[in-house]
Chain A
């Protein structure tokens, strides 16, 4: 295993990855399992209807009916919780990739080896991606099992579309964390800034649906490309997916370039 930068990441982080995958599977399973017993879906719908539209839009997208399991999931899980579960993986892992080693002082020996710096960024970035795929598979499995356990019919194709987009969203913010870590060598900054921006992006998208002057800014928010196309009712929109992929790839490439050029802290 300890042969490559990627392998070293697996060696160091497979345990947290397994633990987090179990959690990321259990949470959605739990939510979908609760669905039938919230038989009071009607009540919930009433509750939502009673909400001011500004608040309601935070939970539900227009096209979805809370009465369907997909609509319920959209509100309870996909709006913010699932991206957060994924970002809780991608952001710290990416932030720790180079900045973690730089702060711990282990980078000197690593980069004194006959290896290009971008290879280090690539190896660690690849591990972040693979980990996200594992998490996504875990979330899907949790949803499928949870739904089967309580016999709730779920359109797994559409659910998968939502999970894929959530994963891509998390990778875009992970790419940003990789970039900030490579630029600054500071792990905490590389964690805090992408998280703060993800919250801001969330609000730009949700409030932008309601506030006129904010509306033109929605496409700036990665959340817009994640959820505004309603993957849970309309499936995967390749355009949205492409925007998120491009964001992650560009951020990752910039991270590699930035890291190549920098003076590394001793």
Chain B
């Protein structure tokens, strides 16, 4: 197996008596886009800042490219592009000057790539950062992170402040990055955004990893809400016994139920009657996410 790009072992961070993250075991392989999801205060930013050696773990360790971030921080960061959450830039510089500075410190510069990225994101690099809107500043940060052509991109809430079209362009860019075999690790709490771009998602809640799996697998386990409208009332009992069916409820001629996995059996049972209408909502990742949380909470 290829070496993971990110690996944490029992990574734990306490801020005094405040819990940051607790016993986090995370593995991200090369060439994937991983979404790091969780509600506010879950510990996403904490994890990311530990990976960059900006803060130090209370216990456990973090490795990038197989090397410990505490001991090889500066060398490892040569291969990393980072966009902080709550980005703050040097207000008195222009976008171009910012790239000059960071390029100078990196000792590496690709002006062509910078220009291409700026064009893709429709960003004017000559303007002073102070004068830019929130979303436009975010674009500057993204260009700065991407311009180093890093093997690993760590983005903390990259979509903050971006309008939907720019978000699409960004995910397009990230998909290209993956296409070159590079890795993207991005945090978000807005699920439909990541759903589109990620291969895998990791859910974190209250500092602990709740789940980590392929989006496709998640969807296979999807719980769909199915609503059937019949010409006349039907016996609900027949549906309740079907595989994967739960929460059957009947209201006159309308029958609703939750179906895990394929809806085949439900459809076939329904076909024995006169069906007026079928509604089945594609479960949003949001719903899956919440279901996952509920399961974790129930288990706890």
Give chain A's interface residues, CB within 8 Å of chain B: 2-5, 7-8, 12, 104-106, 108-116, 261, 263-264, 266
List 6 A-B residue pairs with CB atoms under 8 Å apart, sorted by A's residue number.
A2-B93, A2-B97, A8-B101, A109-B84, A115-B77, A115-B105
Partner of B102, one of A104, A113, A116: A113
Interface size class of B (residues with CB under 8 A): 20 to 34
Contact assessment for B97 and A105 in the assembled complex, using a CB-CB cutoff below 8 Å: no
B45 A113 Cβ-Cβ under 8 A? no
Question: Which residues of chain B have a CB within 8 Å of any CB of chain A?
Answer: 45, 49, 52, 54-56, 73-78, 80, 82, 84-90, 92-93, 97, 100-102, 104-107, 141, 144
**A interface: dominant SS:** loop
* Complex contacts, B88 vs chain A, CB 8 Å: 104-106, 108-109
CA distance A7 to B104 in the complex (A): 10
State whether B54 touches A113 (Cβ < 8 A).
Answer: no
B105 proximity list for chain A (CB < 8 A): 3-5, 110, 113-115
Roughly how many angstroms separate A263 CA and B92 CA in the complex, as a whole number?
Answer: 27
In the complex, the answer to whether A106 meets B90 with C-beta atoms within 8 Å is: yes
- Nearest residue (CB) in B for A8 is B101
CB <8 Å contact, A266 and B77: no
Chain B residues with CB below 8 A from A109, complex form: 82, 84, 87-89, 102, 141, 144
How many whole Å from A252's CB to the nearest CB in chain B?
20
Please judge, given known A-B contacts A105-B88, A266-B49, whether A112 and B54 are in contact too, CB under 8 Å. yes
Specify which of B75, B77, B80, B101 is in contact with A2 (CB 8 Å cutoff): B101
- Contact between A266 and B86 (Cβ–Cβ < 8 Å)? yes
**Chain B residues closer than 8 Å to A104, beta-carbon distance:** 88
Can you name the residue of chain B whose Cβ is closest to the Cβ of A108? B84
Given contacts A109-B82, A109-B89, A266-B45, contact A4 B104 (CB under 8 A): yes
B104–A2 CB distance below 8 A: yes
